[in-house]
Amino acid sequence: MAKIQPMETNRLILRELSEEDYEDIHEFKSDKKVVKYLTWSPNSREQTLHSLKKQIAFQNEENRQIYVLAVVIKNTKKVIGNALFMVRDQDFITAEIGYFINSNYWKQGYGIEIVNGLLYLGFNTMDIHRIYAVCDAENAGSVNLLRRIGFRQEGHFIKNLKVKGQWRDHFLFAMLKEEFK
């Protein structure tokens, strides 16, 4: 599957990225609150542009496995985040999801819409068997979001990843196709 068609939730559109998304994307990729639990620091303008071009290039890969989508508010057309869908193992039909949301839009239910959209894409459009997400053990927002949607915690990785000079624990959450409602 190369390009995907835009998907709509109640308030959002998940669609392929475009260079016109740059300013909105830089707004959240340069926010220290958004990148707190990530391996990278707030982006410079050049870093945001470089990563955007790289992510757009994924759209033309023949055996595409990485989908980085713009998360757009329907009524304002503002890009408030990225949604990530990565096919990790084609034999086991497994995928990983991830998401970033502009901190000005936290705690408004957008995360639920994003993750449910990614689950629909994976289970119904791509016929994926198992979808998982990994998040920092102290990222209460993501931990609670994944549990609320019905993900099962399958693992706790101790000192799994070095983030900004500190070893961090991570939780592994997963859901099977038959568990998706």
User: Which residues are CB-contacts of 33 (< 8 A; sequence separation ≥ 6)?
Assistant: 103
pTM of the model: 0.93
Domains and CATH numbers, the chain: 7-134 (3.40.630.30)
Which pLDDT value is given to residue 4?
86
Q: What's the pLDDT band for 179 if we cut at 50, 70, 90?
A: very high
Q: What's the pLDDT band for 148 if we cut at 50, 70, 90?
A: very high
**Plot region of 117 (φ>0 → left; ψ -120 to 50 → alpha; else → beta):** alpha
Section 62-68 average pLDDT: 89
What one-character DSSP code corresponds to residue 102? -
Asked if residue 181 has pLDDT above 90, the reply is no
Compute CA distances 72 → 16, 41, 108, 174, whole Å.
Answer: 10, 24, 14, 25
Q: How many residues does the chain have?
A: 181
Section 129-139 average pLDDT: 96
| Planar angle of CA 91, 132, 69, nearest 5 degrees | 95
Which pLDDT value is given to residue 56?
92
What one-character DSSP code corresponds to residue 179? G
Tens digit of pLDDT for each residue in 88-123?
877 769 999 999 999 999 999 999 999 999 999 999
Asked if residue 1 has pLDDT above 70, the reply is no
Section 10-15 average pLDDT: 98
Section 167-175 average pLDDT: 97
